[in-house]
Amino acid sequence: MTALHSGGCRCGAVRFEASADPLHVSYCHCTDCRKASGAPVSAFVGFMADAVVISGDTLKSYVNGPVSRSFCRKCGSPIAYLDARLPDSIYFMLGVMDLAAYYKPTLHAWVREQLPFVHMPDGLPRHLTSSVPRP
């Protein structure tokens, strides 16, 4: 498979490839993403799940309600999240993409939870809550 989009963890034990273009590239300011990443803001690249192949070591997951966050069991790199309400999608942390600079976010989500010292005057649309409708 020739991957259009690829990435992996810090130690190289986990790799993934997506054979279709991303559906979604965004920043998230929610508390849950901050706690999962350890960063004041997270960025994600979303793909249709059926276009993604994950290889290498088995990912470790942490489930909190409908959201499952996966990470490398060897180096601890956060890799992706799945939302049971969005069963056809997978969202990778932008930083684990091989060509991370290629994936420019197009919006901000959960800005009502944005930290007061985070200023990103990029002119992108801002959503008070989620930018992806969930049933």
For residue 35, give the H/E element and its range.
helix 31-37
- The helices-and-strands tally (H runs, E runs) of the chain is 1, 10
pLDDT (0 to 100) of residue 2: 46
Please report the beta strands in 40-114, taking only residues with DSSP state E, as ranges in sequence order. Answer: 42-48, 52-56, 59-64, 67-72, 78-83, 89-93, 108-109
* The token pair that represents 45 in the structure block: 């690249």
| Sheet hosting strand 14-18, strand order edge to edge | 5-8, 14-18, 52-56
Q: How far is CA 81 from the centre of its chain?
A: 6
pLDDT (0 to 100) of residue 65: 92
pLDDT (0 to 100) of residue 103: 97
Tens of pLDDT, residue by residue, the chain (135 residues): 445 899 999 999 999 999 999 999 999 999 999 999 999 999 999 999 999 999 999 999 999 999 999 999 999 999 999 999 998 999 999 999 999 999 999 999 999 999 999 999 999 999 999 888 776
Q: Are 80 and 46 in contact (CB under 8 A)?
A: no
- The answer to pTM > 0.85 is yes
